[in-house]
Structure 1
Amino acid sequence: MAVFNIIHITKYKYNLPIKESINEIRLFPHNFENQDVLQYQLSITQNPNVSYTNDYHGNRVGNFNTLEAHNEMTIESRMLVRVNHSLKIPEIDETKAKDLNLHNDIYLLRLCSPESIEKQEEINSILKEIDYENKSIIALAFDCSQYIYNNFTYTKGITNIETTVDEILGHRKGVCQDFAHVLLQLLRTAGIPSRYVSGYICPNESGLRGEGATHAWVEIYTPKQGWLGIDPTNNIWTMDNHVKLSVGMNFNDCTPVKGTFKGISKQTLSVFVSIGYEDGRHFEEINDVELQKNSVEFELQLNHAEQQQQ
C-alpha cells in the first residue's frame, strides 16, 4: 500500500489575447477496488464554474468556460491518493479469447474492436509469432507486452498526441501512450476487451520508464478477475505506484484537458507534475508538450494578427 500527494498543473500561454475558452477536463482520480481518493482540490484561472458529469466509460468529466479575454490559463489539480494494487499479478486463469461470451455486452464488444490501420498485417504477424490462438488471455496479454518492450525503443520527442499506430509501427520508437496504443491493437485483434488507461507512475527508485510523469497503460478484461492493468512501457502488471485517472478506447477518450477558444494566437502548453510521499520524499517534473501543428492558412492569419499588434 502507498499514499501519494500529487499536484498536476497544466498551463496554457497565448502570445495574443484569446476569449470564450471552452474546456473539458479529465483530471479526477478513480475510486476503485485498489485505489482510494482521500482528498481532491481543483483550481482554475479566473475561478470559473465547473459542471460535472460521468462519460460513457465512467470517468468524471468537468466542463467550464472562460469568456473574458486572457493570455494564459492554469489548471491545478491536487490529490491525495492511496493505492493498494500490492503487485497484483493475475491469478492462474486458462480462459482464452475464444471462450469469451460477449454477445450481450455492447461495452466489451466495443473494446474488442481494433482500429482500421494500413499495417494490420504486421499486427497479425506479431500475433502469429506469439502463437496467440493457443494462449490464455493473461498469458497472451503479457507476451504482447513483452514483445513491445523488447522490440520498441523508449524515446522521447519523436511522437506526439497525433501519432498513429501505423507511424509507431514504422519507426518502432515512442513513449508510454504509443506503446499502449500498439498493445491495444494487438489485444483487440486477438479478441480481448482492452482499454487505454491514463494516470501517473510514481517514482520508487526502481528505474521504471516514465516514472514521475503522466503515464499510460492498458487494462484487459477477464471473466474471472475483471479488469487487470498491464504496463507495456515497463512490461509489468500495475503496481502500487500506478495511479489511475481515466479509461477509454484510446488517448482521445482520456485527454486530461481539451478545448477550443476564439481568437488568433500562438499557444504553448506545459505540464508540471509533483509527487510527494509519506516519508517526506518529493519528486517534480515539467514537460513542454508538442501541440498539433497549425495549418498554413492559420499561420498566415497569425502573422497578420501579430503585425497588427506591433
Structure 2
Amino acid sequence: MAVFKIIHITKYQYNYPIKESINEIRLFPYNFENQEVLQYELLITHNPEVVIAQDFYGNRMGNFNILQPHTEMTIESRMLVRVNPSVSLPALTPVYVKDVEKEKNNSIFLLRLSYPEGIQKQDQIKNILNEIGLKDKTILEIATLCSTYIYEHFTYTKGITNVETTIDEILDHKKGVCQDFAHLLLQLLRTAGIPARYVSGYICPNENGLRGEGATHAWVEVYLPNEGWLGIDPTNNIWTNDNHVRLAVGRNFADCTPIKGTFKGIAVQTLSVCVSVGYEDGRQIEEINDVTLKEISSDVKQQLEVLDQLKQQQQ
C-alpha cells in the first residue's frame, strides 16, 4: 500500500489575448477497489464553474468555459491517493481467448475494445504475433509476451513522437514513449482477440527506477472474465502495481486526453506541464515538460504577422 500526493499543473500561454476558451478535462483520479482518492482539489484560472459528467467509459470529465479575454490559463489538479497492490497474477485461474468470446459478443462495450485500428501495416502486427506464437497460451501469457516484444524491440526515446503519431509511424521508426507503446500493445492484443483498453495516469517513482516516472504515463489493461481489468505497462515491461495511479480509460489516447479545448482569437499558444509526486516520508519528485503543439496554419501565421507589425507601429 502506498499514499501519493500528486500535483498536476498545466499552463497555456498565448502571445495575444484570446477569449471564449471552451475546455474538457479528465483529471479526476479513479476511485476503485485498488485505488482510493483521499483528497482532491481543482484550481483553474478565473475560477470558472466546472460541470462534471461521466463519459462512455465511466471516466469523470469536467467541462468549463472562460469567456473573458486572457493571455494565460492554468489548470492545477491536486490529489491525495492511496494505492493498494493488485491481485497476484500466479494465483489467477488460466483464461484463454476462447473463454472470453461469449462475454465479448454479448457486450458492445467489450466489442468496442476488441477491434484493432485500421492501419496500413497490419501485416507487421500479424507477423509479430506469429513470431511470438499464440497457440495454447493464456491471455496473461500473450499480454506478457507482447509487452516483452515491445520492450526489447522498440527504444524509449522522448521528443520524436507526439499525440498524433500513428501506429504505422511507430512501427517504422521503432522508437517512442509510453503513449506510443500503449497504442502498439493495444493493436497486438486486439488483433489476437483480447479486449484491451488504454489507461492514462501517473507512474510514481520507486527504488528500482521506472521509465516515465514522475510524470503523466500510459499503459494498457486487459479483460479477464471474473477478474475484470488487469494493467500491464509495456514501457517498463511490468504488470501494474501500487506505483501506478489511474486517471482515465478508453479505446485510445483520444478518449483519455487530460485536457482538450478550443478558443476564439488569433494567437500562438505554448503549453507546459508540471507533475509533482510527494510521498508520506516527505520525498518529492518533480518533472516539467514543454509540450509540442500542432503547428498553426499558414493563414493564421499571416494574420499574426500583421498583428506583430501593428504592435510594432504602436510602440
TM-score norm. by structure 1 comes to: 0.98
Q: Cα–Cα, structure 1 residues 276 and 88, in superposed 2: closer, same or farther, change >3 Å?
A: farther
> 1 CA distance for matches of 2:7 and 2:64?
20
Tell me the equivalent position of 1:184.
186
Task: Name the structure 2 match of 1:72.
Answer: 72
Aligned residues: 310
Alpha carbons 1:57, 1:247 under 8 Å: kept: yes
> How many Å apart are 1:6 and its aligned residue?
0.5
Residue 124 of structure 1, CA deviation: 0.3
1:107-126 equivalences under 5 Å are 107-126=109-128
Contact 1:270 1:287 in 2 (8 A): yes
Matched, 1:33 2:33: yes
Partner of 1:294: 296
Matched to 2:226, the amino acid is: K
What's the counterpart of residue 254 of structure 2?
252
1:130 corresponds to which residue? Answer: 132
State the secondary structure of the residue aligned to 1:227. strand
Shift of 1:86: 5.0
Match of 1:43 in 2: 43
* C-alpha separation in 2, matches of 1:191 and 1:237: 20
Q: In structure 2, how many angstroms separate the alpha carbons of the residues matched to 1:166 and 1:299?
A: 30
Q: Deviations over 1:118-169 (max 9, x none)?
A: 0000000001111124311110001000000000000000000110000001
1:292 to 1:133, Cα distance in 2 relative to 1, 3 A: farther
Percent identity between matched residues is 69
Kindly tell me: are residues 249 and 20 of structure 1, through their superposed partners in 2, closer, same or farther at Cα, counting changes over 3 Å?
Answer: same
Match of 2:159 among 153, 157, 166: 157
Alignment partner of 1:200 out of 196, 199, 202: 202
Distance 1:303 1:134 in 2: 63
Aligned equivalents of 1:187 and 1:126: distance in 2? Answer: 11
2:283 is the alignment partner of 1:272: no
Q: Counterpart of 1:2?
A: 2
CA RMSD, 1 decimal: 1.1
SS in 2 for 1:64: strand
Tell me, in whole angstroms, the C-alpha distance in 2 between the residues paired with 1:287 and 1:87: 34
Q: With the length of structure 2 as denominator, give the TM-score of the two structures.
A: 0.96
Query: Residue type of the partner of 2:31?
Result: N
Contact 1:52 1:63 (C-alpha < 8 Å) held by counterparts: yes
Q: Deviations over 1:38-91 (max 9, x none)?
A: 000000000001100000000000000000000000000000000002575353
For residue 103 of structure 1, report the CA deviation from its aligned partner. 1.6
Question: How far off its partner does 1:97 sit?
Answer: 1.3
Q: Is the 8 A contact 1:181 1:196 kept in 2?
A: yes
Is the Cα–Cα contact under 8 Å of residues 6 and 79 in structure 1 kept in the other structure?
yes
Residue 146 of structure 2 is aligned with which of 144, 153, 160? 144
**Structure 1 unaligned spans of 5+:** none
Summarize the Cα distance change of 1:299–1:93 in structure 2 as closer, same or farther, 3 Å threshold.
farther
For the residue of structure 1 that corresponds to 2:105, the secondary structure is: coil
Does structure 2 conserve the Cα–Cα contact (< 8 Å) formed by 1:93 and 1:138? no
CA distance in 1, matches of 2:288, 2:51: 28
1:171 — aligned with what?
173
> Residue 206 of structure 1: CA displacement?
1.2
* Aligned amino acid, residue 118 of structure 1: Q
SS in 2 for 1:158: coil
**Unmatched segments (≥5 aa) in structure 2:** none
